[in-house]
Amino acid sequence: MEEKERLKQLAAESAVDFIRSGMVIGLGTGSTAFFAIKKIAHQLHNNILKNVVAVPSSLATEREALRFGIPLTTLDEHPAIDLTIDGADEVDPGLNLIKGRGGALLREKILIQASRRTIIIVDESKLSSRLGASSPVPVEVLPFAWKPTALFLTSLGGPNIHRLMPDGRPFLTDQGNFILDCNFGPIEEPVHLALKMKERAGIVEHGMFLGLVSDVIVAGQNGINHLKIK
């Protein structure tokens, strides 16, 4: 296993230790969350955890959870989630995030906002001094409006790339929307930028997660570091 993958697994497995029997949990999307799914399944199958049900943040996560035998539920059945475990593309010192490289940013944000607690799991390469310094901001947009929306985002300082599949077709989210990856660079005022994007018709959601999490588990060469909002 490559070192980066080993660190992802280490962070994910550390986060699973916070799950208790009887919990409703949210499952994020992406390679780091996949390691958590495997660990949760192992603990369920060995009766270390019992009566745990999960709400997946994407169809891909749903397929993986079912493959490993994790019982699933919905927000209709459980509108309040005890704990969500998810990854991130970038984390700043205030534990604000950029997420969405896997294309599930809308459902991931919904799960996090419905959760009593969220634990974000990353390797140390995802830490950044300022949001946007190392990762573009994914923005989910309606296909009907993607071209004028792309121009609008460029006017905010974010030249963008229309995310495509390997065969050249547009990448589609689980909601059937497009993703524009916006290169704002280091963002001086993320709250202001977020408000500007939320005001624009055609933008479904953006990948900045501001003030939504209080726990980030970071795996690095020196082991596990649990970051918390002070």
List residues with catalytic annotation. 108
Longest dimension (CA), the chain: 54
DSSP collapsed to 3 states, 144-177? HHHHHHHHHHHHCCCCEEECECCCCCECCCCCCC
Q: Which helix (H) or strand (E) holds 61?
A: helix 59-67
Interatomic CA distance for residues 96 and 90, integer angstroms:
8
Non-local CB neighbours of 109 within 8 Å, separated by 6+ positions: 99, 205, 209, 212
Non-local CB neighbours of 162 within 8 Å, separated by 6+ positions: 146, 150, 170, 178, 179, 180
